[in-house]
Structure 1
Amino acid sequence: MKSGKFIVIEGLEGAGKSSAVAGVKAWLSANGVQEIVCTREPGGTPLAEKMRSIVKDNTDEILSDKAELLLMYAARVQLVETVIKPALARGAYVIGDRHDLSSQAYQGGGRGIDLTLIQQIKGAVLAGFHPDLTLYMDIDPVLGLQRASARGELDRIEQQAIDFFQRTRATYLSLVAQDPHAYVIDASQTLSEVATQIDQQLTELAEQIL
Protein backbone atom coordinates (compact mmCIF):
# COMPACT_ATOMS: atom_id res chain seq x y z
CA MET A 1 0.00 0.00 0.00
CA LYS A 2 1.25 3.47 -0.90
CA SER A 3 1.99 5.55 2.20
CA GLY A 4 0.28 8.89 2.69
CA LYS A 5 1.76 12.36 2.98
CA PHE A 6 2.11 14.71 5.95
CA ILE A 7 1.32 18.35 5.11
CA VAL A 8 1.77 20.98 7.82
CA ILE A 9 0.38 24.51 8.12
CA GLU A 10 2.50 26.86 10.23
CA GLY A 11 2.15 30.50 11.25
CA LEU A 12 1.59 33.09 13.93
CA GLU A 13 -1.70 33.82 15.65
CA GLY A 14 -4.24 35.29 13.25
CA ALA A 15 -2.46 33.96 10.17
CA GLY A 16 -5.49 31.92 9.09
CA LYS A 17 -4.14 28.43 9.68
CA SER A 18 -7.60 26.91 10.11
CA SER A 19 -8.75 28.32 6.77
CA ALA A 20 -5.55 27.07 5.18
CA VAL A 21 -6.12 23.57 6.55
CA ALA A 22 -9.62 23.62 5.05
CA GLY A 23 -8.22 24.80 1.73
CA VAL A 24 -5.58 22.09 1.58
CA LYS A 25 -8.19 19.48 2.49
CA ALA A 26 -10.48 20.68 -0.30
CA TRP A 27 -7.62 20.60 -2.82
CA LEU A 28 -6.61 17.07 -1.84
CA SER A 29 -10.21 15.85 -2.04
CA ALA A 30 -10.62 17.43 -5.48
CA ASN A 31 -7.49 15.59 -6.58
CA GLY A 32 -8.68 12.16 -5.56
CA VAL A 33 -7.31 11.72 -2.03
CA GLN A 34 -9.77 9.43 -0.24
CA GLU A 35 -8.80 9.65 3.44
CA ILE A 36 -7.66 12.90 5.04
CA VAL A 37 -6.87 13.25 8.74
CA CYS A 38 -6.60 16.70 10.32
CA THR A 39 -4.60 17.25 13.50
CA ARG A 40 -3.48 20.14 15.68
CA GLU A 41 -0.51 20.80 17.94
CA PRO A 42 -0.23 20.77 20.78
CA GLY A 43 -3.09 18.33 21.12
CA GLY A 44 -4.79 15.85 18.85
CA THR A 45 -5.16 12.98 21.32
CA PRO A 46 -6.83 12.89 24.76
CA LEU A 47 -3.47 12.94 26.57
CA ALA A 48 -1.96 15.53 24.24
CA GLU A 49 -4.99 17.78 24.74
CA LYS A 50 -4.33 17.73 28.50
CA MET A 51 -0.78 18.87 27.82
CA ARG A 52 -2.17 21.59 25.53
CA SER A 53 -4.26 22.92 28.41
CA ILE A 54 -1.18 23.19 30.61
CA VAL A 55 0.65 25.16 27.91
CA LYS A 56 -2.23 27.40 26.83
CA ASP A 57 -4.18 28.15 30.00
CA ASN A 58 -3.36 30.92 32.47
CA THR A 59 -2.68 29.57 35.98
CA ASP A 60 -1.27 30.87 39.27
CA GLU A 61 1.88 28.79 38.78
CA ILE A 62 4.34 30.13 36.22
CA LEU A 63 5.26 27.57 33.57
CA SER A 64 9.00 27.70 32.92
CA ASP A 65 10.18 28.07 29.32
CA LYS A 66 11.96 24.70 29.28
CA ALA A 67 8.96 22.94 30.84
CA GLU A 68 6.82 24.50 28.09
CA LEU A 69 9.25 23.18 25.46
CA LEU A 70 9.23 19.66 26.89
CA LEU A 71 5.43 19.62 27.11
CA MET A 72 5.28 20.59 23.43
CA TYR A 73 7.48 17.66 22.47
CA ALA A 74 5.68 15.24 24.79
CA ALA A 75 2.36 16.16 23.17
CA ARG A 76 3.94 15.98 19.71
CA VAL A 77 5.38 12.51 20.19
CA GLN A 78 2.06 11.24 21.52
CA LEU A 79 0.28 12.59 18.44
CA VAL A 80 2.89 11.34 15.96
CA GLU A 81 3.04 7.83 17.37
CA THR A 82 -0.68 7.26 18.01
CA VAL A 83 -2.33 9.20 15.17
CA ILE A 84 -0.04 10.51 12.43
CA LYS A 85 2.22 7.54 11.73
CA PRO A 86 -0.64 4.98 11.73
CA ALA A 87 -2.63 7.19 9.36
CA LEU A 88 0.30 7.59 6.97
CA ALA A 89 0.99 3.85 7.07
CA ARG A 90 -2.52 3.04 5.86
CA GLY A 91 -2.23 5.54 3.01
CA ALA A 92 -4.10 8.49 4.51
CA TYR A 93 -3.00 12.08 4.09
CA VAL A 94 -2.49 14.05 7.31
CA ILE A 95 -2.87 17.84 7.49
CA GLY A 96 -1.30 19.25 10.64
CA ASP A 97 -2.12 22.60 12.22
CA ARG A 98 1.45 23.16 13.49
CA HIS A 99 4.31 20.72 13.99
CA ASP A 100 7.98 20.88 14.95
CA LEU A 101 8.71 24.21 13.25
CA SER A 102 6.46 25.85 15.83
CA SER A 103 8.68 24.77 18.71
CA GLN A 104 11.80 26.05 17.00
CA ALA A 105 10.12 29.38 16.22
CA TYR A 106 8.17 29.96 19.44
CA GLN A 107 10.35 28.35 22.09
CA GLY A 108 13.58 28.94 20.18
CA GLY A 109 13.05 32.35 18.61
CA GLY A 110 10.36 33.70 20.92
CA ARG A 111 11.53 32.31 24.26
CA GLY A 112 15.24 32.40 23.37
CA ILE A 113 15.94 28.73 24.13
CA ASP A 114 19.07 27.51 22.36
CA LEU A 115 18.07 26.07 18.99
CA THR A 116 20.83 23.48 19.34
CA LEU A 117 19.10 22.11 22.44
CA ILE A 118 15.77 22.03 20.61
CA GLN A 119 17.38 20.18 17.70
CA GLN A 120 18.81 17.63 20.12
CA ILE A 121 15.39 17.01 21.67
CA LYS A 122 13.83 16.81 18.22
CA GLY A 123 16.39 14.27 17.07
CA ALA A 124 15.97 12.15 20.18
CA VAL A 125 12.17 11.94 20.13
CA LEU A 126 11.20 12.31 16.44
CA ALA A 127 14.15 10.37 15.01
CA GLY A 128 14.05 12.01 11.59
CA PHE A 129 10.27 12.13 11.20
CA HIS A 130 9.30 15.30 9.32
CA PRO A 131 6.53 16.73 7.10
CA ASP A 132 6.50 16.10 3.36
CA LEU A 133 5.37 19.69 2.85
CA THR A 134 5.09 22.78 5.05
CA LEU A 135 3.11 25.91 4.18
CA TYR A 136 4.13 28.84 6.38
CA MET A 137 1.40 31.48 6.62
CA ASP A 138 3.40 34.68 6.98
CA ILE A 139 1.84 37.73 8.58
CA ASP A 140 3.00 40.81 10.46
CA PRO A 141 2.46 40.08 14.18
CA VAL A 142 0.54 43.33 14.73
CA LEU A 143 -2.03 42.41 12.09
CA GLY A 144 -2.12 38.79 13.21
CA LEU A 145 -2.80 39.68 16.84
CA GLN A 146 -5.52 42.13 15.78
CA ARG A 147 -7.24 39.28 13.96
CA ALA A 148 -6.72 36.90 16.90
CA SER A 149 -8.13 39.43 19.37
CA ALA A 150 -11.24 39.81 17.26
CA ARG A 151 -11.93 36.08 17.78
CA GLY A 152 -12.13 36.44 21.55
CA GLU A 153 -9.98 36.18 24.67
CA LEU A 154 -6.28 35.49 24.07
CA ASP A 155 -4.58 32.47 25.66
CA ARG A 156 -1.33 32.49 27.68
CA ILE A 157 0.98 32.45 24.66
CA GLU A 158 -1.11 34.90 22.64
CA GLN A 159 -0.73 37.41 25.49
CA GLN A 160 3.04 37.71 25.02
CA ALA A 161 4.57 41.09 24.12
CA ILE A 162 4.83 42.03 20.46
CA ASP A 163 8.63 41.61 20.40
CA PHE A 164 8.11 37.93 21.29
CA PHE A 165 6.13 37.47 18.07
CA GLN A 166 8.61 39.53 16.06
CA ARG A 167 11.38 37.15 17.13
CA THR A 168 9.15 34.17 16.42
CA ARG A 169 8.35 35.42 12.92
CA ALA A 170 12.02 36.11 12.15
CA THR A 171 12.94 32.59 13.22
CA TYR A 172 10.13 31.09 11.16
CA LEU A 173 11.31 32.92 8.04
CA SER A 174 14.91 31.84 8.62
CA LEU A 175 13.97 28.18 9.13
CA VAL A 176 11.62 28.10 6.14
CA ALA A 177 14.38 29.55 3.94
CA GLN A 178 16.58 26.58 4.91
CA ASP A 179 13.90 23.93 4.30
CA PRO A 180 13.47 22.76 0.68
CA HIS A 181 10.04 21.35 1.55
CA ALA A 182 8.68 24.59 3.06
CA TYR A 183 6.96 27.48 1.26
CA VAL A 184 5.82 30.95 2.32
CA ILE A 185 2.21 32.02 1.82
CA ASP A 186 1.38 35.73 2.19
CA ALA A 187 -1.31 35.55 4.89
CA SER A 188 -1.86 39.32 5.02
CA GLN A 189 -4.08 39.07 1.93
CA THR A 190 -7.84 38.51 1.88
CA LEU A 191 -9.15 34.99 2.52
CA SER A 192 -9.91 34.47 -1.16
CA GLU A 193 -6.46 35.68 -2.22
CA VAL A 194 -4.77 33.40 0.31
CA ALA A 195 -6.90 30.46 -0.85
CA THR A 196 -5.89 31.12 -4.46
CA GLN A 197 -2.21 31.29 -3.53
CA ILE A 198 -2.44 27.99 -1.62
CA ASP A 199 -4.18 26.29 -4.56
CA GLN A 200 -1.51 27.58 -6.94
CA GLN A 201 1.30 26.38 -4.69
CA LEU A 202 -0.23 22.93 -4.29
CA THR A 203 -0.85 22.66 -8.04
CA GLU A 204 2.79 23.50 -8.74
CA LEU A 205 3.83 20.73 -6.34
CA ALA A 206 1.18 18.22 -7.44
CA GLU A 207 3.67 15.67 -8.76
CA GLN A 208 5.44 15.60 -5.40
CA ILE A 209 2.28 15.59 -3.30
CA LEU A 210 0.00 13.14 -5.08
Structure 2
Amino acid sequence: MPNDVFTHLATLSPELIKATWETLYMTVVSVLFASLLGIPLGVILVVTDKGHIKESLKLNQILGSIVNVLRSFPFLILMLALGPFTRLVVGTTIGTTATIVPLTIAAAPFVARLVETSLKEVNWGVVEASLAMGASTWQIIRKVLLPEAMPSIILGTTITTITIIGYSTMAGVIGGGGLGDLAVRYGHMRFDYVVMVTTVIILVVIVQVIQSLGNLFAAKFNKN
Protein backbone atom coordinates (compact mmCIF):
# COMPACT_ATOMS: atom_id res chain seq x y z
CA MET A 1 0.00 0.00 0.00
CA PRO A 2 2.71 2.58 0.89
CA ASN A 3 4.49 1.75 -2.36
CA ASP A 4 1.28 2.40 -4.29
CA VAL A 5 0.91 5.78 -2.58
CA PHE A 6 4.48 6.80 -3.40
CA THR A 7 4.11 5.60 -6.98
CA HIS A 8 0.90 7.59 -7.33
CA LEU A 9 2.54 10.72 -5.89
CA ALA A 10 5.55 10.28 -8.16
CA THR A 11 3.20 10.20 -11.14
CA LEU A 12 1.49 13.38 -9.97
CA SER A 13 4.68 15.13 -8.85
CA PRO A 14 4.82 17.46 -11.91
CA GLU A 15 1.27 18.64 -11.15
CA LEU A 16 2.06 19.03 -7.44
CA ILE A 17 5.19 21.06 -8.16
CA LYS A 18 3.34 23.24 -10.68
CA ALA A 19 0.43 23.83 -8.29
CA THR A 20 2.77 24.67 -5.39
CA TRP A 21 4.64 27.15 -7.57
CA GLU A 22 1.37 28.76 -8.67
CA THR A 23 0.23 29.15 -5.06
CA LEU A 24 3.55 30.72 -4.05
CA TYR A 25 3.48 32.99 -7.10
CA MET A 26 -0.05 34.20 -6.38
CA THR A 27 0.73 34.72 -2.71
CA VAL A 28 4.03 36.59 -3.06
CA VAL A 29 2.85 38.93 -5.83
CA SER A 30 -0.48 39.60 -4.09
CA VAL A 31 1.23 40.38 -0.78
CA LEU A 32 3.61 42.74 -2.56
CA PHE A 33 0.84 44.70 -4.29
CA ALA A 34 -1.44 44.57 -1.23
CA SER A 35 1.39 46.01 0.87
CA LEU A 36 2.07 48.75 -1.68
CA LEU A 37 -1.59 49.76 -1.43
CA GLY A 38 -2.35 48.89 2.18
CA ILE A 39 0.64 50.32 4.03
CA PRO A 40 0.22 53.90 2.71
CA LEU A 41 -3.53 53.61 3.30
CA GLY A 42 -2.94 52.48 6.88
CA VAL A 43 -0.55 55.37 7.46
CA ILE A 44 -3.10 57.87 6.12
CA LEU A 45 -5.81 56.40 8.35
CA VAL A 46 -3.58 56.99 11.38
CA VAL A 47 -2.17 60.44 10.67
CA THR A 48 -5.59 61.83 9.68
CA ASP A 49 -7.28 60.45 12.79
CA LYS A 50 -8.54 62.74 15.54
CA GLY A 51 -5.70 64.45 17.40
CA HIS A 52 -2.94 63.08 15.16
CA ILE A 53 -0.33 65.01 13.20
CA LYS A 54 -2.51 65.64 10.11
CA GLU A 55 -6.03 65.46 11.48
CA SER A 56 -8.66 65.29 8.73
CA LEU A 57 -11.74 63.55 10.02
CA LYS A 58 -13.68 63.71 6.75
CA LEU A 59 -10.88 62.04 4.76
CA ASN A 60 -10.40 59.53 7.57
CA GLN A 61 -14.08 58.60 7.58
CA ILE A 62 -14.24 58.26 3.79
CA LEU A 63 -11.17 56.02 3.62
CA GLY A 64 -12.31 54.05 6.67
CA SER A 65 -15.69 53.40 5.05
CA ILE A 66 -14.08 52.20 1.81
CA VAL A 67 -11.83 49.84 3.77
CA ASN A 68 -14.76 48.50 5.77
CA VAL A 69 -16.87 47.89 2.65
CA LEU A 70 -14.09 45.99 0.88
CA ARG A 71 -13.36 43.92 4.00
CA SER A 72 -17.01 42.94 4.33
CA PHE A 73 -17.10 41.06 1.00
CA PRO A 74 -16.56 37.27 1.14
CA PHE A 75 -13.59 36.56 -1.12
CA LEU A 76 -15.40 34.34 -3.64
CA ILE A 77 -18.13 36.95 -4.12
CA LEU A 78 -15.52 39.69 -4.47
CA MET A 79 -13.61 37.61 -7.01
CA LEU A 80 -16.72 37.12 -9.13
CA ALA A 81 -17.79 40.76 -8.80
CA LEU A 82 -14.36 41.95 -9.93
CA GLY A 83 -14.46 39.79 -13.06
CA PRO A 84 -14.86 42.69 -15.53
CA PHE A 85 -12.14 44.71 -13.79
CA THR A 86 -9.81 41.71 -13.71
CA ARG A 87 -10.37 41.14 -17.43
CA LEU A 88 -9.63 44.81 -18.08
CA VAL A 89 -6.36 44.63 -16.14
CA VAL A 90 -4.91 41.28 -17.25
CA GLY A 91 -7.13 40.28 -20.19
CA THR A 92 -8.69 37.20 -18.56
CA THR A 93 -10.56 36.09 -15.45
CA ILE A 94 -9.08 32.58 -15.26
CA GLY A 95 -5.65 31.48 -14.08
CA THR A 96 -3.08 32.44 -11.49
CA THR A 97 -2.26 35.89 -12.86
CA ALA A 98 -5.93 36.83 -13.03
CA THR A 99 -6.41 35.68 -9.42
CA ILE A 100 -3.78 38.15 -8.23
CA VAL A 101 -6.13 41.08 -8.94
CA PRO A 102 -8.94 40.10 -6.54
CA LEU A 103 -6.40 38.72 -4.04
CA THR A 104 -4.70 42.12 -3.95
CA ILE A 105 -7.95 44.05 -3.61
CA ALA A 106 -9.18 41.69 -0.88
CA ALA A 107 -5.91 41.86 1.07
CA ALA A 108 -5.10 45.58 0.78
CA PRO A 109 -7.83 46.75 3.23
CA PHE A 110 -6.77 43.97 5.60
CA VAL A 111 -3.18 45.24 5.44
CA ALA A 112 -4.37 48.81 5.97
CA ARG A 113 -6.20 47.94 9.19
CA LEU A 114 -3.27 45.90 10.51
CA VAL A 115 -0.86 48.77 9.77
CA GLU A 116 -3.26 51.22 11.37
CA THR A 117 -3.40 49.12 14.53
CA SER A 118 0.40 48.77 14.59
CA LEU A 119 1.01 52.51 14.19
CA LYS A 120 -1.50 53.39 16.90
CA GLU A 121 0.57 51.31 19.33
CA VAL A 122 3.54 53.68 18.89
CA ASN A 123 4.13 55.74 22.02
CA TRP A 124 2.62 59.19 21.42
CA GLY A 125 5.41 60.75 23.48
CA VAL A 126 7.91 59.81 20.77
CA VAL A 127 5.77 61.56 18.16
CA GLU A 128 5.40 64.64 20.35
CA ALA A 129 9.16 64.80 20.86
CA SER A 130 9.67 64.69 17.09
CA LEU A 131 7.13 67.47 16.59
CA ALA A 132 8.88 69.56 19.23
CA MET A 133 12.16 69.19 17.32
CA GLY A 134 10.49 70.49 14.15
CA ALA A 135 10.20 67.21 12.24
CA SER A 136 7.93 67.27 9.19
CA THR A 137 5.00 64.91 8.69
CA TRP A 138 6.99 62.79 6.24
CA GLN A 139 9.96 62.62 8.63
CA ILE A 140 7.73 61.49 11.49
CA ILE A 141 6.17 58.80 9.33
CA ARG A 142 9.46 57.56 7.89
CA LYS A 143 11.74 57.91 10.92
CA VAL A 144 9.39 57.47 13.87
CA LEU A 145 6.08 55.74 13.16
CA LEU A 146 7.17 53.08 10.67
CA PRO A 147 10.45 52.08 12.42
CA GLU A 148 8.77 51.91 15.84
CA ALA A 149 5.89 49.81 14.50
CA MET A 150 8.00 47.62 12.19
CA PRO A 151 7.93 44.40 14.28
CA SER A 152 4.15 44.59 14.53
CA ILE A 153 3.83 45.42 10.81
CA ILE A 154 5.96 42.39 9.93
CA LEU A 155 3.78 40.12 12.04
CA GLY A 156 0.70 41.68 10.45
CA THR A 157 2.14 41.03 6.99
CA THR A 158 2.77 37.43 8.03
CA ILE A 159 -0.89 37.08 9.00
CA THR A 160 -1.90 38.65 5.68
CA THR A 161 0.31 36.24 3.74
CA ILE A 162 -1.24 33.23 5.44
CA THR A 163 -4.73 34.65 4.83
CA ILE A 164 -3.94 35.11 1.13
CA ILE A 165 -2.82 31.48 0.93
CA GLY A 166 -6.26 30.53 2.19
CA TYR A 167 -7.90 32.84 -0.34
CA SER A 168 -5.78 31.40 -3.16
CA THR A 169 -6.99 27.88 -2.40
CA MET A 170 -10.59 29.12 -2.57
CA ALA A 171 -9.80 30.71 -5.93
CA GLY A 172 -8.82 27.27 -7.17
CA VAL A 173 -12.46 26.22 -6.93
CA ILE A 174 -13.31 28.50 -9.88
CA GLY A 175 -10.21 27.96 -11.98
CA GLY A 176 -7.69 30.13 -10.18
CA GLY A 177 -4.95 27.52 -10.30
CA GLY A 178 -2.64 26.52 -7.48
CA LEU A 179 -3.05 23.85 -4.82
CA GLY A 180 -6.76 24.57 -4.39
CA ASP A 181 -7.39 23.87 -8.05
CA LEU A 182 -5.35 20.66 -7.85
CA ALA A 183 -7.25 19.52 -4.77
CA VAL A 184 -10.57 20.08 -6.53
CA ARG A 185 -9.69 18.55 -9.91
CA TYR A 186 -7.59 15.59 -8.78
CA GLY A 187 -8.71 15.16 -5.19
CA HIS A 188 -12.39 16.01 -4.89
CA MET A 189 -13.67 15.23 -8.40
CA ARG A 190 -11.70 11.98 -8.72
CA PHE A 191 -12.13 10.98 -5.06
CA ASP A 192 -8.34 10.86 -4.74
CA TYR A 193 -7.77 11.32 -1.03
CA VAL A 194 -4.01 10.91 -1.39
CA VAL A 195 -3.92 14.13 -3.41
CA MET A 196 -6.22 15.86 -0.92
CA VAL A 197 -4.03 14.94 2.05
CA THR A 198 -0.84 15.81 0.16
CA THR A 199 -2.08 19.29 -0.77
CA VAL A 200 -3.08 19.92 2.85
CA ILE A 201 0.38 18.82 4.06
CA ILE A 202 2.08 21.12 1.53
CA LEU A 203 -0.10 24.06 2.63
CA VAL A 204 0.66 23.36 6.30
CA VAL A 205 4.40 23.31 5.57
CA ILE A 206 4.19 26.58 3.62
CA VAL A 207 2.25 28.27 6.43
CA GLN A 208 4.69 27.04 9.07
CA VAL A 209 7.67 28.32 7.10
CA ILE A 210 6.06 31.73 6.54
CA GLN A 211 5.07 32.07 10.20
CA SER A 212 8.58 31.12 11.35
CA LEU A 213 10.18 33.63 8.97
CA GLY A 214 7.75 36.33 10.10
CA ASN A 215 8.57 35.70 13.76
CA LEU A 216 12.29 35.73 12.99
CA PHE A 217 12.23 39.06 11.12
CA ALA A 218 9.93 40.64 13.70
CA ALA A 219 12.34 39.66 16.47
CA LYS A 220 15.27 41.18 14.53
CA PHE A 221 13.46 44.51 14.15
CA ASN A 222 12.26 44.56 17.75
CA LYS A 223 14.30 47.23 19.57
CA ASN A 224 13.13 45.97 22.95
Both proteins in one fold, TM over 0.5: no
Higher helix share: 2
Give the TM-score, by structure 1 length. 0.30
Tell which has more relative contact order, 1 or 2 (C-alpha 8 A, sep 6+). 1
